[in-house]
Amino acid sequence: MKKMTLTMKSIAIALAGVVLLSINACQSGPKKEKTAKEKEISILYPNWEEGIAFTHLAEAALLDKGYNVKITPLEPGPIYASLAKGDADIMMDAWLPNTHRNYWEKFGDNLEKIGESFSSGTTGLVVPNYVKLNSIEDLKANVDMFDGEIIGIGSGAGIHGNTEKTIEAYELDFKQVTSSGPAMQAALKRATAKEKPIIITGWKPHFMWSEFDIKYLDDPKGIFPKDVCAIVTRKNFKKERPIIGEFFSNFNLSEDQLLSLMTYIRKGDDTAAAAKKWYNENKATVEAWMPEKMKK
């Protein structure tokens, strides 16, 4: 009987231990899972110079603070659609309120603008300074000078649509050649090397303004607007993730800072490594955007 009592006591103790472990697992499991999830972030970005720069700088800073970061390049349309569906967290290069107006009208009800990566975005038709024309209106009488072509980028970009509107509004006998950012830059480089006339669709911020002697053509009809490079998230992102949300709300580069970052990336062999180098050399600037809880 004594032996049975001891055995029953041992069983009772063992069961109590199992129950205690189960309780602890129930209490700590979800908390650990929640903490891990709060350290994950998905960033989508367009394959444009400034979008690459914003995104890789944010990635470098977040990795340094222990976050698990996934970055994915996409065309603007799929970016907006993915964010609106909640399939990703954030983009840092939304040209608002004008250039990406159509995307915002379609998806904006399920998105939130929480900050500005850069606050002085401009777009327009660009020519080398050796071209003796100063206005879009001058193009009408100089079609042959440019072979009737405006070298553009991808058709999903807002500047592509505004260029089509410009051709119509100014009654220009031009066609827009759809290419890509790198292809457009290559065409500009070839033309300027021989001082040949060329028109491209251009924007600021972009490194080409520091590498080429170029200018915007005046736009008296005001078709090309001024914008900000907005930071846009899925619905309720900042409410659910207030610490990292505050970092993105504070994230903002001056033109000199952004040109410096883009130069590092352009001259580096690896984009992530170049952005990390810039981050390490400008850590005080970036950490000033972080709430105290993020710095720990």
- What pLDDT does residue 35 have? 63
Angle made by CA atoms 245, 246, 252, in degrees to the nearest 5: 105
In a 3-state reduction of DSSP, which class is residue 80?
Answer: helix
Taking the chain (296 residues) in runs of 10, the rounded mean pLDDT of each run is 47 46 45 61 94 97 97 96 98 94 96 96 95 97 97 86 95 94 91 97 87 96 93 97 97 94 92 98 97 88
β pairing state of 90-96 and 111-128: unpaired
DSSP letter assigned to residue 220? T
How confident is the model over 127-145, as pLDDT tens digits? Answer: 999 999 999 999 999 999 9
Alpha-carbon distance values, 24 to 11, 133, 283 (Å): 20, 75, 40
Question: Architecture of 122-216 per CATH?
Answer: 3-Layer(aba) Sandwich (3.40)
Sign of CA dihedral 264, 269, 275, 281: negative
> Cα–Cα distance between 222 and 220 in angstroms, integer?
5
Q: Which residue has the tokens 């009800």?
A: 109
Do the first three CATH levels of 39-120+227-295 and 122-216 match, i.e. the same topology? yes
Q: Tell me, what's the pLDDT at 34?
A: 47
Identify the pLDDT of residue 48.
Answer: 87
Hey, how many other C-beta atoms are within 10 angstroms of the C-beta on 36? Answer: 10
Cβ neighbours around 70 below 10 Å, total: 12
User: What's the pLDDT score for residue 72?
Assistant: 98
Strand partners, 232: 91, 113
Delimit the domains of the chain by residue range: 39-120+227-295, 122-216
Give backbone dihedrals phi and psi of 211, rounded to 5 degrees, phi first.
Answer: -100, -25
Which segments of the chain does DSSP mark as H helices, in order? Answer: 2-38, 49-64, 76-85, 101-107, 158-169, 181-193, 208-211, 237-240, 242-250, 255-267, 271-281, 283-287, 292-295
Q: Helix count (H) and strand count (E) of the chain?
A: 13, 9
d(CA 296, CA 293): 6
Superfamily (CATH) of domain 39-120+227-295: Periplasmic binding protein-like II (3.40.190.10)
- Distance CA(252)–CA(32), nearest Å, equals 32
Which tokens in the block code for residue 204? 């600021």
Environment class of 251 (CB within 10 Å of its CB; exposed 0-12, middle 13-18, buried 19+): buried
At 168, the amino acid letter reads E
Kindly report, residue by residue over 248-262, the tens digit of the pLDDT.
999 999 989 999 999
Do 253 and 122 meet the contact criterion of CB atoms below 8 Å apart?
no
Alpha carbon distances (Å) from 87 to 21, 66, 259: 35, 22, 31
